[in-house]
Chain A
Amino acid sequence: MCGFGGYFGSNRDGRPLLEKMTAAIAHRGPDEQGLFTAPLIGLGHVRLSIVGLGDGQQPMSDASGELTIAFNGEIFNYVELREQLRAKGRRFRTLSDTEVILHLYDTMGEDCVSMLNGDFAFAIWDARRRRLMLARDRMGVRPLFYTQHGGTLYFASEVKALLQVPGVSAEIDPIALDQIFTLWAPIAPRTPFRNIHELEPAHLMIADESGIVARPYWNLQYPDRDSPPRYTDERGAAEELRALLTDATRIRMRADVPVGAYLSGGLDSSIVSALAAGMTPQGLRTFSVTFDSAEHDESAFQQEMAAALGTHHSAVACGAGDIARAFPEVIRFTERPILRTAPAPLYQLSGLVREAGLKVVLTGEGADEVFAGYDIFKESRVRRFCGRQPGSRMRPHLFRKLYPYLPSLKQQSAEYLAAFFGAGNDALDDPLFSHRPRLKGTAAAKMFFSGDLRAELKDYDATAELVSRLPQDFDRWHPLHQAQYLESRFLLPGYILSSQGDRMAMAHGIEGRFPFLDHRLVEFAASLPPEMKLKGLVEKHILREATTDLLPPSIGKRTKQPYRAPDSHSFSGPGELDYVLAALGEESIDAGGLFSAKAVAKLYEKCRSRPASGFRDNAAFVGILSTQLWLQTFTSASIREAEAA
């Protein structure tokens, strides 16, 4: 149930516009399409049927016809909610989760969102109050964009639907581009499209004739650093975690179609697959990507885990040529410049799932944020450790231990290791302490910005804006929790879930579901003491304790291998593609006006001549290429040309 668009306000050609908007996002909902119009309101929906196959058509109105909803996503606790509502006398005409939202809204109004356990974005038209309510899920799984034009509010699951509105066109937002080239993602509600915004995760928006107001309905909270821990018994915490994760998985297996799972070979997807396999008596189907590049490949672990679980496993091989060939489509679906190629293999993977005839998969996404799995959490801890003895020659070697998969660190001296990671240099009370080296390293890629772009940006500082968005309580949190917050509230919805999650899955009409992002589990994990999550330098400690019996030791004890894909080398190796040459050529770069053509040419030559590039060169290469593709795909001139053809 996976895509919608609409408007609130006057619109003389409502129905034809809605048809264009839904056509633009047809990939999200290949099974059905529906429209609803009334004075002041229009809703269009495209549906991927998963729950209530026969009776979940949308947009859906209640029995009185006064409430109408267009809904993207799933409400996993709809069974329990429906029973509660029935007990209060509510009558249901369908078995869908969509109708549950309508009834809940009718009884609770705006506060209905607090009862929902799910991944969702929806629009409810309340004809009685002449009011539109938009809502988006807590963790930012399902997207929702909006813009205002001619006094009317337009909203949709993807920007490409909004671009169907006459007068709304794609134009780069320079500040968003600066944010992407510094923070890896724009700071919501800003998007790369000027004047097109994103409804922030855990927010709702109320639009009526008096105006438009957006507000949060949920916040991710961590305990104060000095407060007594809520959990001191590790075994008890592990048991509660296991129960929560099992229930989160159970309710995400609710579907009228088969549910599969991604099985990357890592801890998180192995746990989810193990739990799901236990709930799938007919046999679970699992899927993974394998890489030609040994540095990135995890197929041995995938096969071991699939064999241990007895799943029916399928894999898609990803070579450098595959990433380059898929990349233009990847950008059409991410709808934004990106600095890594990691979404591309996931685009291939969702294609594999679709070919296998499935529509839904569980994944392990979110565990690294919620249970402190990322290397950046360990790196930050080591940096603080080094900062306490800046002159130490031994402590910096811990960085090499952290990153065994990075060849460029293998030969470095203690002094260079300390210098690269900013050990001892950064103020320990910097709110962005954990991410500062990465932000600086990424921002170096802005040296390719054109003179015009630099002039437009002037002294804009993306990191200062990020700091200004942090919650008031942030300073009172433990450093690990501060770092987790940055990953969970900013990078997870802004980059991981958008570029690697929803958008890559939905490109092939696949719905991803994420047990680790069940808000009950998120809240529970946030309340745990830091040492239960990152124990010394062992990541996701409590999660391992809770799931030991589910996994072969080789997987349960694995140090995390980050999910990565080959970057610039994918485009400049054998079988170079014409579109890359064209996109990075002087004519295209100058036409775009965003980068220095001379510098880009030198970068391209450097990446071609050497297979191994550093993070900055890789980020710059992929960032520039994806921005050029974005311009080609979305800007008005291209659209007008496409329409003229």
Chain B
Amino acid sequence: MTETIRDKVKAFITENFLFGDTSHELADMASLIENDIIDSTGVLELVAFIEDNFGLAMADSDIVPQNLDSVARISAFIAAKAAMPVTA
């Protein structure tokens, strides 16, 4: 499950932010901000991608670097959120 999520996330980042450039492999733990892969608009694009592709509703408190600042963090966050029971 996490493996599939990771592949989808990585593909999105490679296509949408790296424009298909695979000359430098994107490490799972690499910071997206520190490596200038995303900026403030990029975060909004990333949030839209997560909501659209994984059927999750992102709360404001979810949108923080500790959840979204690398392929690994995003994958783990999505997996954890998907596993949570939905509460009213």
Contact = CB atoms under 8 A, between A and B. Distances in A.
Given A443-B36, A451-B23, A602-B15, A416 B64 contact: yes
A596 B36 CA distance: 19
Contact of A411 (B37, B42, B63, B66): B63
Interface in A591-620: 596, 598-600, 602-603, 606, 610, 612-617
B23 A409 contact: no
B87 interface: no
B4 interface: no
Given A413-B64, A419-B69, A602-B15, A614 B42 contact: yes
A408 B41 contact: yes
Interface string B20-49: 110100000000010011011111110000
A408 B39 CA distance: 9
B21 A441 contact: no
B20 A614 contact: no
- Taking each of B16, B41, B43, B64, which has the highest tally of chain A beta carbons within 10 Å of its own beta carbon? B41
Contacts of A444: 36-37, 39
Interface residues of A, number: 31
Contacts of B60: 411, 413
B82 interface: no
Given A411-B60, A598-B20, A602-B19, A416 B65 contact: yes
Nearest to A409: B40
Given A420-B39, A443-B36, A415 B64 contact: yes
Nearest to A406: B40
B56 interface: no
A597 to B, nearest CB: 10
A476 interface: no
A412 interface: yes
Given A413-B64, A447-B21, A596-B21, A612 B43 contact: no
B18 interface: yes
A412 B23 contact: no
Interface of B: 15-16, 18-21, 23, 33, 36-37, 39-45, 60-61, 63-66, 69
23 contacts: A408-B39, A408-B44, A411-B63, A413-B60, A413-B61, A413-B63, A413-B64, A415-B64, A415-B66, A416-B40, A419-B65, A420-B33, A440-B36, A447-B19, A447-B21, A596-B21, A602-B15, A606-B16, A612-B41, A614-B39, A614-B40, A614-B41, A616-B36
